[in-house]
Structures are given as C-alpha cells and as structure tokens.
C-alpha cells in the first residue's frame, strides 16, 4: 500500500486550494484588505457544508434501506454528533468575520452585487435533505427560494424535492417503535390524567397569583388553555390530523406518541439510544437556528437597515428565516407536556423487563 510519490501538498491539492481566492477589488485595481477575509471565511463554510452533506448522505442511506438495521443506530448518532461539532465551528466563524468593521466591508460590498449567500447551493441542499419543504420556506424577494441558483442547480433541487428527507425517515422509524401499546396497562390514559392534573394545577397557580394583573392573568390562562387543547389532540387522532394539516405538527400521530414515550422513559436501556438520536436531532436544529440568528445579527451590525447584496431585506429576512426554518420543531413542542419523573406512571414489571433487555428462559 506504500506509495513513495504520496505528498501532503499534492494530496490536499494545496496549490489549487490557495489559488481559489480572487478578490474582486484587487481585479478592479483598488484592493480592499478585508475582502480576503470575507472570501476565505465563506469558502471554509462551503467546505464544512460539503462534510455535513457527506455525513447526512451516509445517514440517509441507512434510513432509506428496505429495513433499518438497528445495529447501525449508534453509528447514525455518532455521525449526527459530528455534524453538531461542525455546526459549533459555523457559529464560531461568525466571530472571525466580525473582526471586519462595517466601514471595511463597505470598501468592497458593492462589488459583490448581486451575489449573495442565499445562492449557496450546498446549504439549500442541506436544508432540503434535512426536511425543510418548499412550501415551508420563506419567499425570497417574492420568488421561490431556488430562483437565484444556476439552472443546473435548480434542476438538482427539483430532484431533491422528490427524495425522502431525514425528517421523513425519522418519522417512519418512530412509527415502528414497540411499547406504544402495552398489554394490560393503559399507559396513555394514566399519562393523560397526570398531565391534565399538572396543567390544571398550573392554572390554579395563575388564578391565585396576587402578583399578576387582570390582563396578565387572562393572557396566561389563554396560553395554558391552548396547551391543554393541544395536549388533548394528542389522544384524538382526528383532531391531531386536523392540527397537523394546519401546520401545528409535522410528525404522524403514531410518531409523536413514540417520541413522547422515548423522552419520558429515556432511562430505560432499550430507549437510551433512541433518546440520544432525538436529542441529536434537536441539537442540530438548534445550532442551525443559532447560526442563522448570528448571521442575522452580523448583517444588522454590518448593514444596519440596508438591503442585502442579493436584494433581500437584509437583517429582517435573515431573522425571520431563523424563526421559521426549523425542521424538528415537534420535538421541542413536546416538552410542554412533560411532567416530573416522580409523577410518571409506574411501568408494569413485564414491560420493565422488555425495556431493560431482560429475558427469562
């Protein structure tokens, strides 16, 4: 296997890599010093996107199989955790580009028009493969999100729209979760009563709290009642599907029950790995939201109320996208219905044995 011609410089194609920075200001005859910083940071972003896509594609290959091999779930979680570590770098890189002042940016900003980070094909691929659907995206200057991409890139995005996403794969995987029906043990009715008691107790606290004014009390009561209504819908498949059609939920009826059960009884050996998977998905969603928010704040710092180089509303567009472009929001929403561990229904011994990998001869 030894190759005497193997060389670090050639293997990494350093010459090609280091010759890929072409400052537009330099080509125009008035070099702006910080344009090199701007180019390098964004090129590094694209390299990280490439690696994230590599990890995501390997995960999707496993999930898209005719049968998901549960022995590979630990590998899936490990690769998701690698993506999360990369995301931390994406956020940290904002600090590097913020060493450039707004005045330094203005030295070359107009030369970038109409180019925009919105034209990052890899990031659009990443969002789509995760599960962000076309009809869930914010419109860009009243146009579809992919209209500023190159024609061949738009074709690839149209093809991606037809493929199963990570969200859809996880949804189907959750539907196959055992233990949703426990023979001789009506878990869901017991849990429904427990949550109802907890939320009703919270309502009484609001009503008797002397520190709350009438308007605050009314607002809090309304929020709590909405939580109760949403919780009741979890146990009425027709109501749940109506809420899902309205965009309140994305997971299927069976999947949302599975996700809730996994998180409530995460200490059980059989549910520990599924819990780590759900946690990794939430972490990944949160870091992408954090990165978008940091990007929005940077745009505000650099541009104020100016429009972006691509013609968007700059800060406001980026801020709204951070709020809207979430994929696994259902997992965050379920925490509304958590109760203290001490109040969870006690599982029957036979269920405990199955969840604990104990088998009698």
Give pLDDT, residue 323: 84
SS3 153: helix
Give pLDDT, residue 180: 65
The model's pTM is 0.89
Cβ-proximal residues to 195 (8 Å cutoff; 6+ apart), any chain: 231, 337, 339
Q: Residue 132 in contact with residue 288, Cβ under 8 Å?
A: no
Convert 74-115 into a string of H (helix), E (strand) and C (coil).
HHHHHHHHHHHHHHHHHHHHHHHHCCCCHHHHHCCHHHHCCC
Give pLDDT, residue 314: 66
- Domain-by-domain residue ranges, the chain? 8-355
Count Cα neighbours of 42 within 13 Å in the Cβ-side half-sphere: 18
Give pLDDT, residue 340: 86
CATH number attached to the domain at 8-355: 1.20.58.480
Give pLDDT, residue 287: 96
Give pLDDT, residue 317: 79
pLDDT along the chain (361 residues), means of 10: 87 96 96 97 98 98 90 96 97 95 94 90 96 86 83 94 96 85 73 85 85 87 85 89 93 94 92 96 96 91 71 72 90 90 85 69 40
């Amino acid at each position: 296997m030894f190759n005497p011609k193997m060389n670090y410089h050639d293997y990494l194609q350093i010459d090609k890599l280091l010759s890929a920075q072409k400052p537009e200001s330099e080509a125009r005859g008035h070099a702006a010093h910080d344009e090199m910083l701007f180019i390098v940071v964004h090129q590094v972003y694209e390299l990280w996107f490439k690696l994230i896509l590599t990890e995501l594609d390997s995960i999707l290959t496993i999930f898209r199989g005719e049968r998901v091999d549960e022995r590979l779930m630990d590998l899936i979680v490990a690769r998701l955790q690698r993506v999360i570590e990369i995301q931390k770098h994406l956020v940290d890189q904002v600090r590097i580009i913020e060493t450039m002042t707004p005045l330094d940016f203005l030295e070359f900003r107009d030369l970038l028009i109409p180019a925009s980070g919105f034209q990052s094909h890899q990031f659009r691929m990443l969002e789509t493969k995760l599960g962000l659907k076309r009809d869930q995206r914010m419109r860009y200057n009243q146009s579809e999100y992919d209209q500023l991409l190159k024609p061949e890139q738009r074709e690839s995005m149209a093809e991606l729209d037809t493929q199963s996403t990570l969200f859809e794969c996880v949804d189907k995987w959750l539907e196959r979760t055992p233990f949703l029906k426990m023979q001789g043990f009506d878990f869901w009715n017991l849990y429904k009563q427990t949550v109802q008691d907890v939320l009703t107790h919270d309502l009484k606290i609001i009503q008797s709290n002397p520190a709350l004014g009438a308007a605050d009390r009314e607002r809090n009561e309304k929020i709590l009642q909405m939580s109760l209504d949403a919780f009741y819908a979890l146990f009425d498949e027709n109501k749940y599907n109506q809420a899902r059609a309205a965009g309140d939920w994305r997971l299927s009826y069976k999947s949302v029950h599975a996700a809730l059960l996994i998180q409530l009884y995460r200490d059980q050996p059989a549910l520990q790995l599924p819990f780590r998977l759900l946690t990794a998905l939430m972490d990944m969603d949160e870091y992408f939201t954090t990165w978008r928010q940091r990007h929005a704040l940077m745009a505000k710092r650099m541009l104020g109320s100016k429009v972006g180089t691509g013609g968007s509303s700059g800060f406001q567009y980026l801020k709204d996208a951070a709020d809207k472009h979430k994929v696994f929001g259902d997992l965050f929403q379920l925490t509304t219905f958590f109760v203290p561990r001490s109040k969870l229904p006690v599982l029957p011994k036979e269920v405990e044995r199955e969840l604990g990998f104990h088998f009698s001869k």
